[in-house]
Amino acid sequence: MKYTYFPGCSLEKNAASYDVSTRAVASRLGMQFTEVEDWNCCGATEYVSLNLTAAYSLIARNLAQASKNAGLDQVVAPCSACYLNLRKCDKVLKTDAKLAARVDQALAAGGLKYKPGTLHVRHLLDVLYQDVGLEALAAAVTKPLAGLRVAPYYGCMIVRPGFHNGDDDPEYPTSLDKILKALGAEVVDYPMKAHCCGGHMTQISETTGFEMIRRLIKGADDYHADVIATICPMCQLNLDGFQGAMNRHFSTSYHIPVLYFTQLIGLAMGMSAREVGVGDEIVSAARALTKIGTAVEAEPAGPPKRKKDDKSLPMPGRRTEA
């Protein structure tokens, strides 16, 4: 199973554990990744609302770079925002001739070209579910997640009608649920599974952003989830990084770790917490993972905290222990 791999910006920084666990799991399952050469930011969720031509030119550059990988027409994107942008760009350029012409001109200035439809952009979740399959995943399990109650969180990016992931239902997806069950986890009913995490709303309206996060955390807590499993770096950042600030805002005391689904797959395959980046999260998963006999190394002491400027934007804090 060979694929072109598009990691995206988040997986090089705040979501590095997603990249580490993705590569570790893929290697164990016989998947071979060829990373897109000289890729650039996909523009995240905001750029398309500012300048359509520039935004799609930025995204199309990645498609042009990916198309250089001869014989590899399947592009795997673990980041849901990258997945949606790449897939949407490919589809829009097929149907909007005027925009496509402007994008072609921009690409040509850099000595590049891309023919829409050349590549098939897929989310990592779809590849693991469809290509690897539940049977192979279950066969690779050496340390089942038995007793661990997991809330499957898809987020809103991969369920957009017309761009949704694989054959999953855009309103009530189940592929992640099935993967987690194949690992031996106890998957809780999570009605909020495809609701938006708020994206960058914490930087626009703190109260609104925290309320969107609170609903998701409360939903998982209502069903007594030990952890939330996500497939999106932005979702992980919001639910993990801002959980403490949200608690302070609403005077609540939620403590629900948020892990990438690839980290749970790796743990079920017998990998150590450190091998899949568990321990890097802010809301510690140490207590929850004792249920499956997994030890999480203590995080080294961080630098002294700087005094917060009253005018600064809300940002994630450091880890809160169990």
Between the alpha carbon of residue 135 and those of residues 27, 138, 154, 202, 230, the distances in Å are 17, 5, 22, 40, 21
- Give the tokens for residue 308: 């917060």
pLDDT of amino acid 170: 86
pLDDT of amino acid 220: 98
Lowest mean pLDDT among 25-39, 193-207, 225-239, 287-301: 287-301
What is the distance in angstroms between the CA of the first residue and the CA of the last residue of the chain?
39
Proportion of the chain above pLDDT 70, given as a percent: 91
CA neighbor of 122 nearest in space, from 176, 79, 170, 152: 79
Q: What fold, for 134-292?
A: Rossmann fold (3.40.50)
134-292 and 2-124 share a CATH fold = no
pLDDT of amino acid 44: 77
User: Computed over its alpha carbons, how large is the radius of gyration of the chain?
Assistant: 20
- Give the tokens for residue 177: 């649920």
Q: What is the largest CA-CA distance in the chain?
A: 57
Q: Provide mean pLDDT across the span 47-67.
A: 90
Please report, for the chain, the start and end positions of each structural domain, with discontinuous segments joined by +. Answer: 2-124, 134-292
* Beta strands in 189-263, from DSSP E residues, in sequence order: 227-230, 258-260
Residues 20-46: pLDDT tens digits?
999 999 999 999 999 999 999 998 777
Count of CB atoms within 10 A of residue 170's CB?
Answer: 16
Residues 182-218: pLDDT tens digits?
999 999 999 999 999 999 999 999 999 999 999 999 9
Residue 301 pLDDT grade (very low, low, confident, very high; cuts 50, 70, 90): very low
- Give the tokens for residue 279: 């321990």
The whole-angstrom separation of Cα 287 and Cα 271 is 18
Residue corresponding to tokens 């996060």: 213
Using a cut of 0.85, tell me whether the model's pTM lies above it: yes
pLDDT of amino acid 15: 96
pLDDT score of 302 more than 60: no
Phi, psi at 152, each rounded to 5°:
-80, 120
pLDDT score of 304 more than 60: no
Proportion of the chain above pLDDT 90, given as a percent: 84
The whole-angstrom separation of Cα 35 and Cα 299 is 30
pLDDT score of 102 more than 60: yes
- Give the tokens for residue 307: 């005094």
pLDDT score of 47 more than 80: no
* Most confident listed range (1-5, 39-43, 169-173): 1-5
pLDDT of amino acid 303: 47
Strand order across the 2-5 sheet: 32-35, 2-5, 74-77, 120-123
The whole-angstrom separation of Cα 197 and Cα 241 is 12
- The answer regarding whether domain 2-124 maps to CATH 1.20.1050.140 reads yes
pLDDT of amino acid 51: 84
pLDDT of amino acid 298: 65
pLDDT of amino acid 161: 80
